[in-house]
Amino acid sequence: MIYRSKQKSVAIKETTLQYIEFGRGTRPLVMIQGLNTNGIDGAADSLAFAYRAFAKDFKVYLFDRRPAVWEGITVRDLAADVAAAMDALSLSDACVLGVSQGGMIAQYLAIERPDLVGKLVLALTLCENNDTVTDAIDTWVRLTEQGDYQTLVADMAERMYSPAYLKRYKPFLPLLTRMQTPKDKERFIILAKSCLSCDTAAELHRITCPALVIGGAQDKVVGADAAAILAQRIGCPLHLYENLGHAAYEEAKDFNKIVYGFFAD
């Protein structure tokens, strides 16, 4: 068990949400991760290690998506699940970090339940659809439907990571393919399609807490301009990684430091 990491579950409405909890602090930090081919099961130690910078001062909660999803589920629906889980755990005025699809969910959380969000970081995400994200999601759905997981993982990696990172880790792509093959392809397809339901542009004025947007100028998943558009519409600062793309949260050595500094300020 790393940094007191535990995998738990919380009952919400008619279902349960799995979540990972770690850290020794008392201030709540809610992390909402992006779309992934599988859930958080068995990832408590690895995620706690990846975000160990927050373990001393925060109690971190990282929520998974609900186990049973339906065709047409939206990111607003997923935000309602996170809100219900936070209510069940008596979490309020939390620091919230949303990455990619998690950033879409976090926007709706801050819009609908401002009492739950004290500070907000939105990373590598968007507030409305564009051609870049539509092409990415449509491609990933098609490849999953075809069962072509090798091409799926390769395409996801190509769109997310910098050329230097891809070159360094290309030998591990076959292993990554085995690890990232969806265990439930229908669930992955439904959750992927839900990314295209994000449309907060007309509601961003309802976000009243301090916010920070982090983006990558080379982002091939949500688009190079998505972060700047989001920050402008919220009226908040923007930190842009000029030479990184959608996986800047993994590649940038100072990503956690920037997030921590904003939350701790």
Amino acid at 176: L
Backbone angles phi, psi at 216, to 5 degrees: -125, 125
What's the predicted TM-score (pTM) here? Answer: 0.96
The torsion of the CA quartet 93, 249, 103, 206, rounded to 10 degrees, works out to 60
Q: Count of alpha carbons within 13 Å of 138, Cβ hemisphere only?
A: 7
Alpha-carbon dihedral of residues 39, 107, 45, 190, nearest 10 degrees? 10
Q: Residue 237 gets which letter from DSSP?
A: -
Tens digit of pLDDT per residue, the chain (265 long)? 568 899 999 999 899 999 999 999 999 999 999 998 888 888 899 999 999 999 999 999 999 999 999 999 999 999 999 999 999 999 999 999 999 999 999 999 999 999 999 999 999 999 999 999 999 999 999 999 999 998 998 999 999 999 999 888 878 777 777 777 888 999 999 999 999 999 999 999 999 999 999 999 999 999 999 999 999 999 999 999 999 999 999 999 999 999 999 999 8
Rounded CA-CA distance 195/265 in Å is 31
**Nearest-5° Cα angle at 209, 244 to 89:** 95
Task: Give the domains, in start order, of the chain with CATH numbers.
Answer: 6-129+198-264 (3.40.50.1820), 133-186 (no CATH)
Please count the other Cβ atoms lying within 10 Å of the Cβ belonging to residue 35. Answer: 20
The residues with which 11 forms a beta bridge, in sequence order, are 16
Cα distances from 173 to residues 29, 182, 209, 218, in angstroms, run: 32, 15, 40, 21
